[in-house]
Structure formats: C-alpha cells, structure tokens
Amino acid sequence: MAEPITGVLQILPIAGLPELRPGDDLAELLCAAAPWLRDGDILVVTSKAVSKVEGRLVSTPSDLGGREQARQQAITAETARVVAERGATRIVVTHHGWVMAAAGVDASNVARGELALLPLDPDASARTLRQAIADRAGIRVAVVISDTSGRTWRRGVTDNAIGVAGMAAVADLRGLPDTSGVPLEVTEIAVADEVAAAADLVKGKLSGIPAAVLRGLLPLADDGQGSASLRRPVAEDMFALGTRDVVRTRRSPTGFARQPVSIPVLRAAIEAAHRATDIDDCLRLVADLVPAQAWPEIEETATTQAGRLLGQASGVIVPMIPDQDDAESLTRLGMAIGALLIQLHAEGLAASWLSPAELDTLDLDTPIADRLPGPLARGARTHGLVVMGQPDLQIER
C-alpha cells in the first residue's frame, strides 16, 4: 500500500456548530455548517461530538465527591483490563481494545453534571456518518473519529483515530524500496492518527470547534478494517503488563466469558512458563484450535465450581507429570503451573488449576483422559488441568 499523495494540504475548521445533544442529526448539522465539503475530503470529528449525539453521557451528582465516585464507576464499567494504576489514575484497555487513561471517560466540554463515554463502536459511527453525509449532500468523504491521548515516554497529548471509514488507517510500506533502494522492513504509517492530530491543530481544546476537514491528502484506498489495523495485537505488545502487580491483582475466576482465546497467546504463555522453571514440555495445549468452550456439555451437569469452570473454559492446558516423578520434579511442575497462571493473568486472561482430586469429583461419563487428543492421551500421566478464558466482567464487577 503506497503513501497517501498530497500536493498542497489544507486543514479547514468547521465552525458554527451548536452545542450538541442526544438525538441531534450530526450529518445535517455538519453539511449546513460546511456546505463547501467536497468529494475526497477527510472529515475529522471528535469522539465527544459523536458521544453527545449518540447519548453516551452519564449523569453525575453536583458535589465533587459524588462526581468523582461516578467517574470512577464509569471508568470501571468501560474497562476490560487495567494496565497501570497510580492513585486514582488508571491506564486501561477499553472494551474497544484501546489503551488509554480513564477508559476515555471525560468531563471536559460537556454539560455540568455529565460525563462523556466513548462511542460504543466508533468505526460503526464513522460509517454511519459517512453514509449520512453522502445521502444528504451527495458527496463521498472519508471520516475519522478522533480522541485525545497521552503518549508513552513523551509528555503532552495529541489526537488519535479511534474510528475510521472510507479510508485505510495504516499505510503498510514494508517491502517497498526506500530512496536508496533498500527494502523497508518495519515501516507502517498510522495515517489516520496523523490525520487526527493535524485536524486538532485547527479544532483545539478551547475553541468549541469539534470538526475539521483535511483537503489535498488523497485517502488511502479503503481496506474495510476501520481502525482495527491501528490496534497492536496482544502477542506483539511488549508492554502489555504495564506497572500492574500481577501477583497481587490475580484472583481465582468464578466463571469465564463465552469468547475464544488467542492460540498464539496461549503458546507464548506456555513457553514463558517453561523458561521460568527450566522444565520443558510439561505443559501442553489440548488442541491447536480451541473453540469458544472446550467441553460445553460438562457445564450442563456441573454441580461444583470445578465443573462450571471446565464447562465454560475456552482453553485447556494439561500439566504432564515428568518421567522422573521424584519430589523435585513434581515441585518444579507445580512452579511451572504457578508461572503459567501468572503469565496468563498478565495477558489479560482468567485461569485456574483444577487438581486431580477436583476432577475426580466431576463423575463424568467420559473420563478427562479419554477426552484428550491422541498424542496426549496415550500413556499420558496428567496432573490436573489448567483452564482459562476471557474474564467474565459481569462477575468480576
């Protein structure tokens, strides 16, 4: 994918928009305020404007204490995982997958007694706005929904894209020759983020202008991914742990969400546990492809916590007893299981070890050993099971 082409780049603020409220027709208001919009423009709108018209507002008490309590509750509700925490400040992963302070919950530029949450689905909001403008004005623009974030290792904030429609968010230049003919190896340009930051130069934080247009920058051909290509996969995130104390924050799960888990993440966790305890091949994934529930029929008859966890699990790892099952080897196996549980927690997964005694109480029609894939079942001597899945946030709250 080539870089976007530009001659003279213009950044044009859209002034004259009224104070937005739930139910307002944002496309109609933008078209009225900017009748000069034309095909090929890139429209950048703040997430705050979108949140207002979509009703993503939370009422708060008027007193400072009550307002802060409501803010913290909103942050918790919008949080999928805490990355770092210091005092009342939390850096979290939102349910959208963005890493940001306070889960994007914001008290600025909203009415007193309100907080703004991020749009539920910023990409869908961008697509809807783009189509609505096309319907009203007969023009095709790209749309970027922006939000303000800090940057790791750098002071100050800048606007980033959290919703994208009508253009690719990233220009992948890997493999293309540079000016010296050397192939680029790691260059992926976050064009949508650059667009969002450029637009903020004319929107600002104090001007009351929530939208701007970039003209002269040819949008990248739409790849249909929206903003997804801007999110770094967990397997590539070298700082996913943040500053959390994983030992202190880990809790034994009481249930799992019915969502699949990442096989590469599970494999990486197993490798990390092996390295931490210097004992190879003692932890094995049940299968290369783990469904959203490993053995769903178990949950239907489960009467114990172990049964419920096994029935809800999205992934199962089998601890294998070493050939030399002396006390030292079994101790190291236990250390490997402990290291695995901590590593899975660091990856944002909930996990629990079910002991052989707990599994024996399940009284299953088909024994666990018979449910394992052939290479594991033949002559395998297992030491319980490690079950894991996505955290059930409803239970955790």
Q: pLDDT digits over 155-194, tens only?
A: 999 999 999 999 999 988 888 888 888 888 888 899 999 9
Mean pLDDT of 308-319: 87
| Residues 344-381 as b or e (16 or more Cβ within 10 Å = b) | bbbbbbbbbbbeeebbeebebeeebeeebeeebeeeee
Note down the domain range covering 208. Answer: 6-236
Q: Is the pLDDT of residue 271 over 70?
A: yes
- Alpha-carbon distance 342 to 348, whole Å? 10
Assess whether 45 and 122 both reside in one domain. Answer: yes
- Alpha-carbon distance 319 to 380, whole Å? 10
Q: Is the pLDDT of residue 368 over 80?
A: no
Q: Is the pLDDT of residue 195 over 70?
A: yes
User: First and final CA of the chain: distance in angstroms?
Assistant: 43
**Per-residue confidence at 244, pLDDT binned at 50, 70, 90?**
low
Mean pLDDT of 147-158: 90
- Give pLDDT, residue 255: 87
Assess whether 58 and 163 both reside in one domain. Answer: yes
**Per-residue confidence at 397, pLDDT binned at 50, 70, 90?**
very low
Assess whether 69 and 136 both reside in one domain. Answer: yes
**Per-residue confidence at 21, pLDDT binned at 50, 70, 90?**
very high
Task: Tell me which of 374 and 142 has the higher pLDDT.
Answer: 142
Q: Is the pLDDT of residue 6 over 90?
A: no
- Pick from 75-89, 231-245, 298-312, 324-338 the range whose average pLDDT is largest: 75-89
Question: Which domain CATH number covers 273?
Answer: 3.40.109.10
The verdict on residue 280 lying in a domain is yes
Assess whether 260 and 226 both reside in one domain. Answer: no
- Alpha-carbon distance 261 to 313, whole Å? 10
Assess whether 35 and 182 both reside in one domain. Answer: yes
- Give pLDDT, residue 76: 93
Q: Is the pLDDT of residue 396 over 50?
A: no
Instruction: Look at residues 236, 267, 291 and tell me which one is the last residue of a structural domain.
Output: 236
- Give pLDDT, residue 191: 95
- Provide the percentage of residues in the chain whose pLDDT is more than 90: 43
- CA 233 vs CA 226, 341, 348: distances in Å: 15, 21, 13
Assess whether 57 and 127 both reside in one domain. Answer: yes
Assess whether 261 and 232 both reside in one domain. Answer: no
The verdict on residue 243 lying in a domain is no
Mean pLDDT of 229-235: 81
Mean pLDDT of 330-355: 88
Mean pLDDT of 337-349: 87
Mean pLDDT of 223-233: 91
Instruction: Look at residues 214, 236, 258 and tell me which one is the last residue of a structural domain.
Output: 236
Assess whether 37 and 181 both reside in one domain. Answer: yes
> For residue 270, what is the enclosing H or E element?
helix 263-277
Question: Which domain CATH number covers 116?
Answer: 3.30.1330.100
Assess whether 181 and 276 both reside in one domain. Answer: no
Instruction: Look at residues 209, 236, 263 and tell me which one is the last residue of a structural domain.
Output: 236
**Per-residue confidence at 1, pLDDT binned at 50, 70, 90?**
low
- Give pLDDT, residue 379: 62
- Give pLDDT, residue 159: 96
- Alpha-carbon distance 116 to 51, whole Å? 7
- Provide the percentage of residues in the chain whose pLDDT is more than 70: 88
**CB within 8 Å of 131: residues ≥ 6 apart:** none
Domain total of the chain: 2
Assess whether 232 and 253 both reside in one domain. Answer: no
Assess whether 22 and 160 both reside in one domain. Answer: yes
Q: Is the pLDDT of residue 254 over 90?
A: no
- Give pLDDT, residue 289: 58
Task: Tell me which of 387 and 364 has the higher pLDDT.
Answer: 387
**Per-residue confidence at 267, pLDDT binned at 50, 70, 90?**
confident
Mean pLDDT for all residues in the chain: 86
- Give pLDDT, residue 371: 72
Q: Is the pLDDT of residue 243 over 70?
A: no
- Give pLDDT, residue 380: 65
Assess whether 163 and 299 both reside in one domain. Answer: no
Q: Is the pLDDT of residue 345 over 90?
A: no
